[in-house]
Structure 1
Amino acid sequence: MPLETPARLVSELASRGYNAEREAVTLLADASDPNVALDRALETIPEDTLVLSADHVRTALESEHDADGGRSGNETRPADTTNPADTDPSVSTGTGPTSSTDSGGSTPVETEGSSTARSVRSSDPDQRSIEVHNDMTGQSTGTGEYSDFVSVFRDRYEKLSKQLRGRVNHRPTNALERMSGGEEAAIVGMVSDIRSTASGHWLIELEDTNGTFPCLVMKDRAIADLVQELLYDEVIAVDGTLADDGGILFVDSLHFPDIPRTHDPSTADRPVQAALISDVHVGSQEFMADAWHRFADWLHTEEAANVEYLLLAGDMVEGVGVYPDQDDELDVVDIYEQYERFSEYLKEIPGDIEIRMIPGNHDAVRLAEPQPAFDEELRDIMTAHDAQVHSNPALVTIEGVTVLMYHGVSLDEVIAELPDEKASYDEPHKAMYQLLKKRHVAPQYGGHTRLAPEDRDYLVMEEVPDVFHTGHVHKLGWGKYHNVLAINSGCWQAQTDFQKSVNIDPDAGFAPILDLDTLDMTVRKFV
């Protein structure tokens, strides 16, 4: 098997009982024949050497140069030798080696980018910029008291009602109760109840900080279809006419906080790309190590030279006890060992790529959202390439492009509650559209998604993102909603027995690559 990339070189060295300096691996990868260069280097080092140094490799390459009559020992490889995806501009199939082996417990060195890729990637840190907002790590104040629940819902209402009051002439519920029948009226409120009447009309109870008020949507009105999109606890606005007795509002129009149709997304000032992935699930028997190796290998090629950022939207590991009989499907049963293993895989990523991650429901943090980043013990394990972990959700602005990263547990709830044409697993981006419309990543409290009461609601989309990136459902889907690019990036785990039992057929081994300067996207496949 040709050793054409740093990741495979590291594995081969480990299998022979050696570690290596990062520069040594890069020099070997850039040799005209990495196989020969590796063998030559191991032949010439002292017998008691355990770590292959850059000097060892240079000596070997010089001897190879002399033996071959002056041929350069570190000339650049042809670009197509490690190009796993060049036949389809939209969805590409990897053509790298189909079998890769783990290092057998040896720890790989952290790889740098190949010299070809590094020559194009920014060597000046000032060209890169990342700002993170809404990270609640270390900011949790919730104690589970009643006052915490009041605070988080009041904060949600105040933030979202501000986005709606410019569209309707809002009156508080207690003011509506004092108005005469037949008057025009409007209210901004949180959905506390939805039910159909005996005649098939829809009765919606809206709640504000003063009380509740019933609103009736007639079944023959065009807006009746919008009622099917409603979830409990989301904030909406309605306007219409009060009944003769003033006790109910007949709804003429219904408004969501929504993304403005005039939203103009920001872009980077230079050609630069970000890889968006999720749901790696290291520790599962179904983790696709070969696909991961091919992905890491590709990142070392010239074709990936513009990929300077990696955004991972949760579920780095498989976790323990997440679903029934999960133990039967684990390759690694200790949660800390799972993170150690993941950290080793992360070392295969070029060291000159900036890595940002958030946790998911399989990770070792609280299940209730918002989820803080890892504690110090896990951070000490996750040191590869100085990867940064933020809370779930987090708003990450990369060279001017704002990316809302959210793992996506609430997508299950949206898909379960809404009609198939509005949200489905086959088209997960449409469920994401619904969250964008509601300007909240997990509006419904008390359902499938566990929500933690804090002093404020970290799940509100106060700022309109340019890109919305989720995972969780293990399905690939993307599209634009009011100029916001919504991407669900699939997974790196083949179908488990549990997924078979619930009819989930995952899209595995994909890596969406986003052009930050144009917001165009290419999906690469590594299986």
Structure 2
Amino acid sequence: MSYAVSKGFQIHPDAFAMLKGLESADVLKTVQEIIKSKKPSKNAVILVEDIKGLLSPKKNDGPIEQTCTVLMDPTPKVTTGEGVEGYAALFRSRFEKTMRILAQRPDSKRISKIASVKQNSRNNNSSKFVERGEKSLHGSAGSTIVAGLLMSRRTKKNGIEIAVDDYTGILTVTAVAEDAKKQAAALAMDQMVMLELENGKGAPGLTVKNIMSPDIPDHLPNRSKSEAYAVLISDLHVGSKYFMEKEFLRFLDWLSSDDDNDIVRKIKFLCIGGDVIDGIGIFPNQDKELLMMDADKQMSHAARLLAKVPKHIKMLVIPGNHDPGRRALPQPAIPGKDLADHLYGLPNCTMLGNPAFVDLNGVKLLMFHGQSLDDVIATTPGLSYSRPAEAMKVLLKARHLAPTYGERTPVAPEQEDMMVITDVPDIFHAGHVHVTDVQSYRGTLIVNSGAWQSQTKFQQTMGITPSPGMAILVNLATLQPSIQDFN
């Protein structure tokens, strides 16, 4: 609270207790916003009413119009390239878009081209690293910064060797210090990184002093001016023997309940994060796990179920890897002709691609099915399917939804990399792994909304225990989440 004191403000004990209940990323932002709105005086005090006035929805005399704006949908942008040239364009776009994100950091002014750093290293003249005597991030001279895509990562006897690539070449360096090794291990392959380098300490050549991901900044998230709720669900898998239809019908009945449930009446949005149906031929011997052997019948049944959603609730639907259409990312919306006509015919349903970025009453929601979480969990030490929000946090740090190329997640050679997280979301919603998990990171609410499919034989063999039959309810006026269990 030293910031408030430095501005000439005291904090009432009750207000202090309320601030302690906020996420750590929100506390400073909240105090800053209150101080902006109050005139400083000799005995200025931040009160409980100041906090409530900032965080609580403003009351209105009449009904408030609910707004839903699509900020980004890959569907009309998909123009797949081909071969080496297509992927060269994709990674060039990734590099340039992420460099624009890094350019917002003061340290980015010190970025050197890899070719010049390699030349200086060959000349064995460390003074050329810092020609004008710039200081490092920790205040000491004698370091330089490069930025590039992470091409490889190998564990060596003396540390972790990583290679980064920019337009001028590839640079291989070693992380020797414990902090640098932890930072290197947590990176996603093929993501953009900034490396602070210094002459070898414990290893020949250049060593890594510090690693910086593009990351999202600490921020005070946007909030709805009126109290409204969004329900986040994913992975219905309609058509599968494991689809929990009884529980899903219970959920639909809850949405339509006529009782005095004030919260249900304020639900205005239903966001479905992909895998609406189980699909056909997605994995070997899938037919043994299907109730419906035709994708059109699966989709028709899904549409009949979703038609029960009250018309005042706006539905947003993106595809997953089990749905019809292209499986490579980014995915256009589920094709309408002969496949999803019934869904397109619902008046309150909007079909979007994967990923999609929408504005709900001023709250920015990033919807992504989550295929790349498989690669993140497999390649990052300490991650598991039991805590998917931790893997989603890696994507936010990388500012990319599918950074790793060549593993389980298919990525299309688009001319523009639409998987870069150029704008900071207030809510990041994904599914795919069938495990419910909710966290907050730097002001962004991270939600993995689980599934409506019970444990499959494949999940049993993989040791994955799903948490199906749940819906995540988010108050858009406060961004407070709650879990509704329909088991």
The TM-score with structure 2 as length reference comes to: 0.79
Q: Residue 325 of structure 2 corresponds to which residue in structure 1?
A: 365
Structure 2 counterpart of 1:186, one-letter code? I
Measured in 1, the distance between the counterparts of 2:243 and 2:178 equals 50
Alignment RMSD, CA only? 2.1
Measured in 2, the distance between the counterparts of 1:291 and 1:233 equals 40
**Which residue, 336, 341, 354 being the options, matches 1:392?**
354
What displacement does 1:235 show?
A: 0.4
Gaps of 5+ in 1: 1-121
Measured in 2, the distance between the counterparts of 1:485 and 1:493 equals 24
Measured in 1, the distance between the counterparts of 2:419 and 2:69 equals 18
Structure 1 counterpart of 2:151, one-letter code? S
The 3-state SS of whatever aligns with 2:347 is: helix
Once structures 1 and 2 are overlaid, which stretch shifts more, 411-420 or 468-477? Answer: 411-420
Cα deviation, 1:157-206, whole Å, max 9, x if unaligned, reads 11112222432410111221332532332100101111123x33111111
What displacement does 1:123 show?
A: 10
Measured in 2, the distance between the counterparts of 1:327 and 1:344 equals 22
> Which 4+ stretches in 1 moved above 3 angstroms?
none
Q: Residue 381 of structure 2 corresponds to which residue in structure 1?
A: 419
Which residues of 2 match residues 117-266 of structure 1 at below 5 A? 127-165=65-103, 166=105, 167-168=107-108, 169-179=110-120, 180=123, 181-182=125-126, 183=129, 184-197=143-156, 199-218=157-176, 220-242=177-199, 248-261=205-218, 263-266=219-222
The 3-state SS of whatever aligns with 1:202 is: strand
Residues 283 and 332, structure 1, Cα contact 8 Å, conserved in 2: yes
Residues 185 and 242, structure 1, Cα contact 8 Å, conserved in 2: no
Residues 401 and 466, structure 1, Cα contact 8 Å, conserved in 2: yes
Cα deviation, 1:251-308, whole Å, max 9, x if unaligned, reads 11110001112x1100000010000000011101111111111111111224210001
What displacement does 1:376 show?
A: 2.9
Residues 134 and 458, structure 1, Cα contact 8 Å, conserved in 2: no
CA 1:138–1:123 in 2, change beyond 3 Å: closer, same or farther? farther
**Which residue, 483, 496, 502 being the options, matches 2:456?**
496
1:299 aligned onto 2:237: no
CA 1:387–1:265 in 2, change beyond 3 Å: closer, same or farther? same
Residues 164 and 255, structure 1, Cα contact 8 Å, conserved in 2: no
Structure 1 counterpart of 2:111, one-letter code? H
Measured in 2, the distance between the counterparts of 1:379 and 1:341 equals 11
The 3-state SS of whatever aligns with 1:308 is: strand
Q: Residue 17 of structure 2 corresponds to which residue in structure 1?
A: none
Structure 2 counterpart of 1:217, one-letter code? A
Tell me how many residue pairs correspond in the alignment. Answer: 401
Q: Residue 401 of structure 1 corresponds to which residue in structure 2?
A: 363
1:464 aligned onto 2:424: yes
Measured in 2, the distance between the counterparts of 1:359 and 1:123 equals 36
Structure 1 counterpart of 2:334, one-letter code? F
Measured in 2, the distance between the counterparts of 1:221 and 1:294 equals 51
Residues 147 and 195, structure 2, Cα contact 8 Å, conserved in 1: yes
Residues 213 and 248, structure 1, Cα contact 8 Å, conserved in 2: no
Measured in 2, the distance between the counterparts of 1:322 and 1:502 equals 17
Measured in 2, the distance between the counterparts of 1:273 and 1:518 equals 10
Aligned sequence identity (%):
34
Structure 1 counterpart of 2:101, one-letter code? Q
Structure 1 counterpart of 2:483, one-letter code? V
**Which residue, 267, 286, 290 being the options, matches 2:246?**
290
Q: Residue 380 of structure 1 corresponds to which residue in structure 2?
A: 341
Residues 316 and 352, structure 2, Cα contact 8 Å, conserved in 1: yes
Measured in 2, the distance between the counterparts of 1:461 and 1:372 equals 17
Residues 312 and 348, structure 2, Cα contact 8 Å, conserved in 1: no
What displacement does 1:350 show?
A: 0.9
Measured in 2, the distance between the counterparts of 1:211 and 1:176 equals 10
The 3-state SS of whatever aligns with 1:507 is: coil
What displacement does 1:332 show?
A: 0.6
**Which residue, 236, 246, 268 being the options, matches 1:308?**
268
Cα deviation, 1:83-138, whole Å, max 9, x if unaligned, reads xxxxxxxxxxxxxxxxxxxxxxxxxxxxxxxxxxxxxxx996x7111111221113
The 3-state SS of whatever aligns with 1:425 is: coil
Measured in 2, the distance between the counterparts of 1:253 and 1:363 equals 42
Measured in 2, the distance between the counterparts of 1:413 and 1:430 equals 13
